[in-house]
A and B are shown apart, each in its own frame.
Chain A
Amino acid sequence: MTKIKTLADLRKMKEEAQSKIKLRENSANPDQVVQVKVGMATCGIASGAKETMKYFVEELEQEAIDAVVTQTGCMGYCYAEPTVEVKLPGKEPLVYGHVNKEKVHEIIDKYIKRGELVDGIIPVSFRTIDD
C-alpha cells in the first residue's frame, strides 16, 4: 500500500477499503454493542491505561467484535488501575481492575465472547460515571 501522507491519501485509502468498512452505526445505538470504557485519568495513564486501551481496540478488531472503546475518568479505584468498565448488551456494567495486556486478552476471550466471569472484578455497588 502506498504511504499515507496527506488527508487526501487517507480519503483515497478509505474509499478503496470502503467495501470492507462498516459505518459507525455502533455509536447510534450503543446499547446493541459491547461497550468498553478505560479509566484514563492521571492514575490510569500513569499505570499504563493507554496501552490497555490500545490492546482493546486492536484485539476487538481482530476478533471482529462490534464494540465501542472509549475513555472515561477516574472511577475512584486508583489502587487497581488500569480499570476498565465492560458492558455487554442488556447486562449491567462490570468493572475490572489491574487490566494489563494479558487481562485484556482474558476479558475478551472469556467474558466478552463467552460471558464467563473473569477474576479481578471490582465489586461494590458500582455506578457508571458521567465524565
Chain B
Amino acid sequence: MKTLSEHILDIVQNSVSAKSTLIEIIVEEDKITDLYSLIIRDNGCGMSKETLAKAINPFFTSRTTRKVGLGIPLLKHNAEAAGGSFSLESELNVGTVLTARFQLSNIDRPPLGDIWETLYLMFLSYTDGNLVYRHKTEKGGFQISSDELKEVLGDVSYQQKEIREGILELIKSNLEEIGITK
C-alpha cells in the first residue's frame, strides 16, 4: 500500500463486512506533537478477544476464499516503520476501533493520496449506513458524511458525471482549504 487512502479503503471494507451502520474515519495532523493519526471506528459486530488477538496475524483471515489477511498487518507495519504505533480494540456486538499513528515528519510515512477519489468510491459502494470522514489540521477541520450527501442528492446516481465531479470538487476544495493535498 503506497498511500493512506488505500489503507483506508481497505480497512473500511472490514467495517462494512462487520455490518456496521456507522463508520467513522478520522485523520488528525498535529505539528506540535509531530503526530499523524488515523482512526477508523465502527459499530459493527466486533470481535471476540480470541479473534482480536489473531487479527494482526497475517496468516489469519475470516474469509474462506484465501488463507491470508494482510490488510491490518500491512497498516500496522507501515505505522511502526514510520515511527508510530498501532492499536486495535474491539468488543463483540459493540464495534471496533482501529488507531494507527505515524510520526508526521517521518520520511516513511505514506502520503495521504487522493482521498477524494477514495471517499467517492466508498460513498458509491457503501449504502447500508453512514460513512463519516473527518480531517483536522492546524488550519482547521473538514467533515463529510454519506448521510449528508444522501440528504442533498437524494435518489440521483452518484455515477452521473455532474454529481461525481461535484462530490469530488466539494471534498477536494475543502481539504485544500485546510492545507491538504495528495
Contacts and interface: CB of A to CB of B under 8 A. Distances in A.
Contacts of B151: 7
A17 to B, nearest CB: 4
Contact of B9 (A3, A5, A50, A62): A50
Interface stretch (A20-28, A89-97, A100-108, A110-118): A20-28
Contacts of A5: 170, 173-174, 177
A13 B173 CA distance: 15
Interface of A: 3-7, 9-11, 13-14, 17, 20-24, 26-27, 40-43, 45-46, 50, 53-54, 57, 60-62, 67-71, 73-76, 78, 129, 131
Interface stretch (B25-33, B65-73, B102-110): B65-73
Contacts of B6: 45-46, 50
Contacts, number: 121
Nearest to B118: A50
Looking at chain B's contact residues, the main secondary structure is helix
Interface band, chain B: 35 or more
Given A14-B163, A61-B164, A76 B170 contact: no
Closest 5 CB pairs of A and B: A76-B65, A71-B125, A17-B162, A42-B71, A24-B157
B49 to A, nearest CB: 23
A73 to B, nearest CB: 7
Interface of B: 1, 5-6, 9-10, 13, 16-17, 63, 65-66, 69-71, 74, 117-118, 121-122, 124-125, 127, 148-149, 151-164, 166-167, 169-170, 173-174, 177
Contacts of A17: 160, 162-163
Nearest to B162: A17
Given A76-B65, A131-B17, 12 more contacts: A5-B177, A10-B152, A14-B163, A22-B156, A22-B157, A40-B13, A41-B10, A41-B71, A42-B74, A57-B159, A62-B161, A74-B63
A45 B156 contact: no
Contacts of A70: 124-125
Given A46-B1, A50-B118, A74 B65 contact: yes
Contact of B166 (A14, A20, A50): A14
Contact of B65 (A14, A61, A75): A75
Contact of B161 (A7, A61, A73): A61
Contacts of A78: 66
